[in-house]
Every structure is written in structure tokens, then in C-alpha cells.
Amino acid sequence: MCAYKAEHFVDFCRNLYLPLPLERKAKGKLKTLNTPSITELHRAGVKFRVGSAKNLLDIQFNDGILEIPKLTISDETKLTVRNLLAFEQYHSMDNYMNDYVVIMDRFVNTAKDVELLVKHGIVENRLGDSSEGSTLINNLADGVIVDLDDFYFATLCEDLNRYCKTSWHKWKANLTQNYCNTPWATLSIAAAVLLLVLTLIQAVCSVVSVLQSEKTH
């Protein structure tokens, strides 16, 4: 276990949100800032799960599941995070909190994004209103500078963009969310598919029968 000496009380608070030094991932080059929002990820079939880690940076994406540590939104959130950002910038530290608010700003564009995060237990919205929650998250990123060559979530953004560009994921998600969202809907689709298969079989049998009849004559 490595010893850590806090430079300041704000520095101590900041480190409570971060993974231990040995657990921090390497930063990478960010190819594009166009990371899909939570709603777009949902439409592409991504599933959401609240992360078990206590540090905010432990956002992971594996096998179509996006894990995000729980974030509580309240009147104090903006003040706390902005102080942590200012401390990072003033002391020229690694911009971990900076990169965190950037990725959350990309994830949340509308009230619908907040509603999905609340639904899956990732966000606890003490403001009550989803629109206010969305505005607060977006305002956290005001004035931050993104270092495209040294971004903590570069690999995550690349993986999410690649997943959303796969047509199969979107097609499967659309089928599940819009047509197979109830047992009766699933049964109806199965019956329709079975009817189509039987119709094709009947058509093939009819063609075969006609061909055999022509041969006998």
C-alpha cells in the first residue's frame, strides 16, 4: 500500500473520487468527441448497470454492458465538482475530474438520458426534475479543456462508437424494445414467422408438384 500525502483538503477530497494510482488506466488519444449519449446507446442495445466501485472514474464497457459508478445529483454537486476541477487546473495535475465531467457531458444531453440513468440506479437525482439534472451535468463541463492526445476515457469512447455503428446491434435492439417488449408481442412475432415459413414451404411444395406433373406428361 503506497503512502499518499494530500497537498490540500480539496486534494484529499479529490482523491476520494479517484482510483488508487496503481489502478488508474493509461490515457489515450481521443479520435472524436462524438460519443453516443445514453439514449443513443440504449437504442443501440447497450445495457446499463451501476458500477460497484466507489471511484467515479471506473466506467467500464464489456459485452454490451456499460457500468457507471453511482452519481448523486444535488445542489451541492456543482459546487463540489467545480472546486475539484479548479484545484486540478491550478496545480497542473492530471485532469482526471476534467475528463470525467467531459464523458458525463457526452452521455447526458437531455432529460431522457437522466431518466435512463435514474432507472438503472446510476444517478440519484435529488433535484427531482430530470431536466434540471441534465442541465447540471452539462454545466459541470463549462470551460473545461479536452486534451485529445491524453484523455482518460479514449478507449471507452472508441469502443462505444464502434458498438453503435454495428447495424446488427441496432436491429436487435429495435426488435427487442419495440416489438418484443411483452410476452404477447413476442408470441405474435413467433407466430408470424412460423406462418411465413409454412407459406414458403407450401409454395416450394407447389412448385415441386407442378414440376413433377410436367415430367410425367
The 10s digit of each residue's pLDDT in 156-193 is: 999 999 988 875 455 554 555 454 455 545 556 566 66
Mean pLDDT of 131-147: 89
Distances (CA, A) of 181 to 25, 173, 188: 38, 10, 11
Cα gap 88→110, rounded to integer Å: 28
Residues 138 and 212 in one domain: no
Residue 1 falls inside a structural domain:
no
Residues 48 and 89 in one domain: yes
Residues 104 and 209 in one domain: no
Residues 160 and 209 in one domain: no
Residues 92 and 170 in one domain: yes
Q: Decide: helix, strand or coil at residue 49.
A: strand
Cα gap 199→205, rounded to integer Å: 10
Residue 40 falls inside a structural domain:
yes
Lowest mean pLDDT among 14-23, 57-66, 75-84, 186-195: 186-195
Residues 163 and 196 in one domain: no
Residue pLDDT, tens place only, 13-56 = 777 777 777 777 888 888 888 899 999 999 888 999 998 877 88
Residue pLDDT, tens place only, 91-122 = 766 788 999 999 999 999 999 999 999 999 99
Cα gap 96→19, rounded to integer Å: 10
Q: What is the span of the domain harbouring residue 196?
A: 188-216
What's the burial of 215, exposed, middle or buried (CB within 10 Å: 0-12/13-18/19+)? exposed
Residues 6+ apart with CB under 8 A from 56: 17, 18, 69, 71, 100
Residues 92 and 199 in one domain: no
Distances (CA, A) of 52 to 37, 57, 105, 126, 142: 22, 12, 21, 21, 28
Band (pLDDT 50/70/90 cuts) for residue 154 is: very high
Residues 16 and 96 in one domain: yes
Residues 139 and 200 in one domain: no
Residue 137 falls inside a structural domain:
yes
- Report the number of distinct structural domains present in the chain: 2
A 10 A CB-CB count for 100 gives 26
Which region, left, alpha or beta, applies to residue 92 given φ > 0 means left and ψ of -120 to 50 means alpha?
A: left
A 10 A CB-CB count for 3 gives 4
Residue 166 falls inside a structural domain:
yes
Residues 170 and 194 in one domain: no
Cα gap 119→184, rounded to integer Å: 24
pLDDT at 116: 95
Residues 206 and 107 in one domain: no
Residues 132 and 209 in one domain: no
Residue 196 falls inside a structural domain:
yes
Q: Is pLDDT at 155 greater than 90 in this prediction?
A: yes
Band (pLDDT 50/70/90 cuts) for residue 210 is: low
Mean pLDDT of 75-101: 84
Cα gap 13→201, rounded to integer Å: 69
Residue 94 falls inside a structural domain:
yes
Residue 183 falls inside a structural domain:
no
